[in-house]
Amino acid sequence: MKLIGSLTSPFAQAAAARVNPLGKVPVLVLDDGTALFDSRVIVEFLDNASPLGRLIPQENRERIEVRRWEALADGVLEAGVLARLEGQREAKLRSAPWTERQLGKVRAGLAAMDSELGDKPWCAGNGYTLADIALGVCLGWLEPRE
Ligand SMILES: N[C@@H](CCC(=O)N[C@@H](CS)C(=O)NCC(=O)O)C(=O)O
């Protein structure tokens, strides 16, 4: 297996474009050449590759709770990335209302996370799951950009 992924490298994205028609990273290329994308598909594949240490529960409601956290964290990240990319455009091309719309999603998403996590030690259920990873990655990406 080969994982193609990078936050910044145009070379990684050129490699991704050859195996992912959407041209996005991450892409996981399996030994038989099958290219898996996007990150949700990759994480499900890897989680099912071993019976040990499952990050996504099997039971339907528990599973959906975890995947809902993942969707929330991914949505906040996607809005944050879009706002950041807009800020990198030429000043005359930037749209302040559009940027504010994305930042509104970031703020609303963070408020929902704060309220739903509350004082709980874990996002979902009684232990570490993909939900905690998704939240941690999201907050880790946003933190230096606050
Ligand atoms: N929903 C996708 C998002 C992937 C994504 O947006 N990747 C960005 C880097 S953070 C990318 O490759 N962008 C290049 C492009 O859109 O051309 C996933 O979870 O994998």
Res 69: pLDDT: 98
Pocket test for ligand 1, best of 24, 27, 76 (most atoms within 8 A of CB): 24
- Write out pLDDT tens, residues 37-91: 999 999 999 999 988 878 999 999 999 999 999 999 999 999 999 999 999 999 9
pTM of the predicted structure, to 2 decimals: 0.89
* Number of alpha carbons in the 13 Å side-chain half-sphere of residue 83: 20
- CB of 20 sitting under 6 A from ligand 1: no
**Residue 13 pLDDT level (bands cut at 50, 70, 90):** confident
Most distant CA atoms of the chain, gap in Å = 53
Residue 109 CB coordination number (10 Å): 21
Residue 144 has pLDDT above 90, yes or no: no
